[in-house]
Chains A and B, each alone.
Chain A
Amino acid sequence: MMTVAARRSPLHDDLEHLHPTWIQIHGMPVALHFGDAAREAEQARTLALCDVSAFPRIGIKGKGGENWLLKHGITTPQKIYGHVDLASGGLILRTGSSELFIEGGIRGDVVSKLWTDADSTLVDVYRFHRQDAAMLLSGERAWEVLAETCGYNFREPDAELVFSRVAGVSCCILRDDRNGRPLFHIWCDGSFGSYLWEQLHEITREHGGNAVGISAYYPAAAQLSGVDNL
């Protein structure tokens, strides 16, 4: 009678229309690619959009959060809106003086460890679910998409985590260049996810880009889970 709950990306239906090859990552169907994986990897260098909502996330509020994370071996960024790469993959971002946000990445199990910490003596540590729609926008022409959707100047040299509107939706955006190429993490409330994807996908296509599967950024993704025609 009881089943194991399946997670579903807020963008699942939008991706399904693009006929992806699905795999399971962290209990969620993830688009591995939509056709030619090699071409998508190349696309990611010029202009591409990818759903990474499957990565587990946790929000932490309260003044005790920083010390609690330290006990788990996680160093927090000191600067508000700063971020640090997690050793196990993923990111930790400081969204306020006593607010932190962790995204576990494709391999990391840090989020589940933090959720299952049953320490009942925790003081001033409040964990909460983050059910964001999460996307990667990457490539040399990613600027053009952001120029049409967001009023923030991401070319500012000190640009870090930014709270701004993208296509009218409140988002967190992090510039996180990889290999000298622009890469932006975009997180928004999952309920806006489908709308935001639709807008960004359309604009990305107008600028010569396209949606890509997760293998464009994580070539080993297929090894994490068997390819599954869901």
Chain B
Amino acid sequence: MNQRLPQQPGEWIDRSRPLQFRFEGHDYTGFVGDTITSALWASGVRMLGRSFKYHRPRGVLSLANHDVNNIVQGGGATNIRADVVPLTDGGDFTAVNTFGGLEQDSARRVEWFSKMLPVGFYYKAFHTPRMLFPYYERKMREMAGLGAVDPKSPRLKTPKAYDFCDVAIIGAGPAGLAAAIAVGEQGASVLVIDENRSPGGTLGYQYAADASANSRLTSLLSRIQSMANVRLKTSTEVAGYYADHWIALVDANRLTKLRARSVVIASGAMEQPAVFHNNDLPGVMLASAAQRLIRRFAVKPFDRAVVLAGNSEAYQATLDFHNAGVEIAAIVDLRQKPDSSPAARKLAAAHVRIYQHSTVYCARAGKGKTSIVGATISQLGPHWQPIVDRSIDVPCDGIAMSVGWMPCDALINQAGGKMAYSDRVEQFVPETMPSGIFAAGRVNGIYVLEDQISDGRRAGLMAAAHIGRFNGAIPPAIEHQGESPSHPFPIFPHPKGKDFIDFDEDVQFNDIQNAVQEGFDSIELIKRYTTLGMGPSQGKVASMNGVRILAKIRGKTIAQTGTTTSRPFYHPVPFAHLAGRNFHPHRQTAMHSQHQQAGAVFMPAGVWQRPAYYAPHGRSREEAIHAEVQNVRQRAGMIDVGTLGKFEVNGPDAAELLERTYTGRFAKMKPGTTRYLLMCDESGVVVDDGVAARLSDDRFYVTATTTGADAVYREMQRNILVWGLNVVLINLTGTYAAMNVAGPYARSILSTVTDIKLDHETFPYLGMREGIVAGAPARLLRVGFVGELGYEIHVPSQFGAHVWEQIMQAGAQHGILPFGVEAQRILRLEKGHIIIGQDTDGLTNPFEAGMEWAVKMDKPFFIGQRSLKIIRSKKKPVHRVLVGFMLPKNYSGPAPKECHLVIKEGTITGRVTSVAYSATIHRVLGMAYVGSDQSEIGSRFVIRVDGGQEIEAEVVKTPFYDPDSRRQSEPGEKPKESAP
């Protein structure tokens, strides 16, 4: 049945552009400009969805995204709000949350058992027996939820954006447009945001029959269009308000982060339903929804209507229905006094039947409850209670509810504003507003059109004044005059229930009663126990009635009862919008391309990408790693260590900074030498390590771990200020590329690309030299993390690729190969060198890690010294010790892994921190924390491996390889400190 009306002034549809679509397997036609719901309603479809809990048929309620009666999925998208989402050609939609389709939904039988499913039934029913928990969970998950996510949906591009303006105006109704003009006239940049496709708000549907209102809208819009500094953004929701006027805007494609200097909230009000039996069935809708159908989409909402009135606006709505060809069966007015508005007079002249001081007691359901066939009208008693034996039945296919409003005050609440209940308008109105935020229009309790425009202008001028654009007189505040636009209690419970308060969650009147009886007697508890307002529409057409009912039951005022907390988002926001482009910055070293060409398999190290190993020609991971290890031990390898933190510490107090920051001694270091660095925090926990190279008396070059670099830089920068040191700290982490050439041929290879003298006497172990390498200015550090003769070469990063290539070329004759992080881990493990963060954790002190040699307790001060003194004085004895261990020769059982536990007599005493098979030693070796009584060399301890099996390991002395460190420091030379 086609319900499309003749052309309406200002209609949103384009009748010249029809669209074909499917819904629940049936073909329909709509127009460009239709929403899915309006096109279906125009096609005579009444049942558009099913309710969440009882699977009751549902139709149009608000047609304004204030309810979720009509949620569909299709085209890879789910939970599409059919009331407001534009219809697309070829769309194929189905209702969500049905089992077997909308009409044959087998879950509709749940309603038969509704008496057994009171609010909170799951708390009471599903707690025993425990063994059935998985069954309960599975069943509840099957029944609950809305649409089903299609994992095959293509990824949508939903880039986020930033926007800025002087004043943001939220709502393009009469108050918002007036505010925009007022601010715009002061020269400020203005952004007006409205969730509707076209601006105008109520001017476009509630006042649309009024010619003067139409011309007012035209005049407001043309004024705005003439102002270059005023932008209008429609089809955009304001999803949330955050600090400092940071506003989240959501449109079909993106989330925009808007920063304004001031904000006018002219977000209007949401019409509220009345509560009566079957108030949820298709055909029962808000009067404003029916007006939207008529004015925006030229759709006849019903053929024969009963209008439930609680205010004068009901009469204007009724007149609109009458003019659209709807037969008015009756107006049922809750009020005692007849309405005296011009619309009421016109309706009286048209002989429309009005039942004064009466209510719709129930909607009579049609077959299958997919429509209504009539309304039972009851006269009201002195306390607004229905007198049921004075009821009559009136046939109709629609009931329009016009009983009151609730302000769209979510953003005011999110911004920290306070709302207070006003008896004058029977709604919450702003009591105090945060600085820079101003309310106007219906959200401010102003309902007369001219007053809304004046109120908007006033708010606009206040916003302009706030940002220093206006210093004239602000017009006085306006107050609503006359009868309240909202009825104080349009709620008429029915003995059979199905008198719904929350349409999302199927919460009925007696659910509130029961919750209060069970002790959940505050509005926040009611919300959580009954789920009132917890559905996708977040109580937009539910919470106010919930508050009214709770106040009535408890004998409190609305003000005493209060409201629930409003949090972002105002409407649900798609995850894709929140994800945006998904920026995940990562860093590449200067030699990234060379690694790629060499077949590197990359791994993340913090935000860096590092070669884990090189697997050319399909070599397996294990083969590749062991080949790299052997090549370093037997010939030469080169590893990219450009990810290390690198800093220059300059100034007269440079050495003093290092003395205080690190545990070692640096003041007497000679230029041209390096020294190991160990950093603790104030509790004595090891947090970083590295190498300091002294460039000159007042200049050090310092390295830090890859992942600790940023924190070390921040800490040093902070301490320079706190300690008042004359130090200039420069972060060169990304500025320098670095590579380590290691192995027996390292010197031979390097000597072909540099003039720096590399012989042992001129450039000894732990030395540092500056010079030219492969034509680039370089700093060379002779260190030995992997236990071989090695040189760390640091060059400005733009030379990194060139120097790498030159060294690889020069080393080809010696068999140089690149090696990755995995090989380095084995090489350093063979040497017993620890990795901070792997062999230490958030509690490790240097004594536990066997690094006492690096801690100079007799220094005047270093960070963590006081804590370490306490630990050392045995007030806090060391309970665990890091030891080296080996598994027996030819061990073939399950391999221990990092973090496997060390067990002693059923108690955890430690864990494995590093473990690997060493092809050099031919043993599985590793490091582990063990109890201090388990650390004696030669003793054995138990590791619990995967599957719970326990294996035995022997404590051995480290280094496992080259215990005298001859290979890295050359025969005959032993470093004073056994530093890497």
Spell out A's residues near B (CB within 8 Å): 1-10, 12-13, 28, 53, 59, 61-62, 124, 126, 128-131, 146-153, 155, 167-169, 189-196, 199, 203, 206
A199 lies within 8 A of B806 (CB): no
- Given A9-B798, A131-B797, A167-B583, A61-B735 contact (CB < 8 Å): no
With CB as the reference atom, state the residue of chain A lying closest to B776: A5
The residue from A13, A146, A195 contacting B587, defined by CB atoms under 8 A apart: A195
Closest 9 CB pairs of A and B: A5-B775, A189-B734, A5-B776, A168-B583, A191-B587, A153-B164, A191-B734, A7-B798, A168-B585
A5 lies within 8 A of B587 (CB): no
B773 to chain A, nearest CB (A): 8
B585 lies within 8 A of A192 (CB): yes
| A62: B residues at CB distance < 8 A | 650, 728
A4 lies within 8 A of B752 (CB): no
B730 lies within 8 A of A10 (CB): no
**Which residue among B157, B164, B755 has the maximum number of chain A CB atoms within 10 Å of its CB?**
B164
User: How far is it, in angstroms, between the C-alpha of A108 and the C-alpha of B619 when the chains are bound?
Assistant: 49
The answer to whether B967 has its CB under 8 Å from any CB of chain A is no
| B734: A residues at CB distance < 8 A | 131, 189-192
- Given A8-B801, A129-B735, A131-B797, A3-B774 contact (CB < 8 Å): yes
B775 lies within 8 A of A4 (CB): yes
The answer to whether B837 has its CB under 8 Å from any CB of chain A is no
Spell out B's residues near A (CB within 8 Å): 157, 159-164, 257, 259, 581, 583-590, 592-593, 608, 642, 648, 650-651, 728, 730, 732-736, 752-755, 772, 774-776, 795-803, 806
| B730: A residues at CB distance < 8 A | 59, 61, 126, 128
| A203: B residues at CB distance < 8 A | 159, 581
- Given A59-B730, A151-B162, A7-B583 contact (CB < 8 Å): no
What are 17 A-B interface contacts by the 8 Å CB criterion? A3-B753, A12-B801, A61-B730, A62-B728, A124-B728, A131-B735, A131-B796, A131-B797, A131-B798, A148-B160, A153-B164, A168-B583, A168-B585, A190-B735, A192-B585, A192-B586, A206-B157
| B802: A residues at CB distance < 8 A | 3, 5-8
User: How far is it, in angstroms, between the C-alpha of A206 and the C-alpha of B802 when the chains are bound?
Assistant: 34
A12 lies within 8 A of B593 (CB): yes
| B650: A residues at CB distance < 8 A | 61-62, 126
With CB as the reference atom, state the residue of chain B lying closest to A170: B585
A169 lies within 8 A of B585 (CB): yes
A82 to chain B, nearest CB (A): 21
| A153: B residues at CB distance < 8 A | 162, 164, 259
| B801: A residues at CB distance < 8 A | 8, 12
User: How far is it, in angstroms, between the C-alpha of A206 and the C-alpha of B796 when the chains are bound?
Assistant: 34
User: How far is it, in angstroms, between the C-alpha of A178 and the C-alpha of B716 when the chains are bound?
Assistant: 40
B798 to chain A, nearest CB (A): 4
B799 to chain A, nearest CB (A): 5
A212 to chain B, nearest CB (A): 22
The residue from A5, A148, A192, A194 contacting B799, defined by CB atoms under 8 A apart: A5
| A28: B residues at CB distance < 8 A | 798
| A59: B residues at CB distance < 8 A | 730
- Given A148-B161, A150-B162, A155-B164, A194-B583 contact (CB < 8 Å): no
User: How far is it, in angstroms, between the C-alpha of A149 and the C-alpha of B800 when the chains are bound?
Assistant: 29
User: How far is it, in angstroms, between the C-alpha of A190 and the C-alpha of B583 when the chains are bound?
Assistant: 17
User: How far is it, in angstroms, between the C-alpha of A196 and the C-alpha of B588 when the chains are bound?
Assistant: 11
B590 lies within 8 A of A10 (CB): yes
A199 lies within 8 A of B583 (CB): yes
A111 to chain B, nearest CB (A): 12
- Given A3-B806, A10-B797, A191-B589 contact (CB < 8 Å): yes
14 further contact pairs, Cβ within 8 A, besides A6-B799, A9-B798, A147-B161: A3-B806, A5-B775, A5-B776, A10-B590, A12-B801, A13-B593, A131-B735, A131-B736, A148-B162, A148-B581, A153-B162, A169-B585, A194-B592, A195-B587
User: How far is it, in angstroms, between the C-alpha of A40 and the C-alpha of B578 when the chains are bound?
Assistant: 35
B501 to chain A, nearest CB (A): 42
A16 to chain B, nearest CB (A): 9
User: How far is it, in angstroms, between the C-alpha of A130 and the C-alpha of B157 when the chains are bound?
Assistant: 35
| B775: A residues at CB distance < 8 A | 2-6
A125 to chain B, nearest CB (A): 9
**Which residue among A61, A131, A153, A199 has the maximum number of chain B CB atoms within 10 Å of its CB?**
A131
User: How far is it, in angstroms, between the C-alpha of A44 and the C-alpha of B442 when the chains are bound?
Assistant: 49
With CB as the reference atom, state the residue of chain A lying closest to B259: A153
- Given A191-B608, A195-B586, A129-B732 contact (CB < 8 Å): yes
- Given A2-B753, A61-B728, A62-B728, A147-B163 contact (CB < 8 Å): yes
B455 to chain A, nearest CB (A): 30
| A169: B residues at CB distance < 8 A | 585
User: How far is it, in angstroms, between the C-alpha of A146 and the C-alpha of B589 when the chains are bound?
Assistant: 26
B159 lies within 8 A of A148 (CB): yes
| B159: A residues at CB distance < 8 A | 148, 203, 206
B166 to chain A, nearest CB (A): 11
B856 to chain A, nearest CB (A): 28
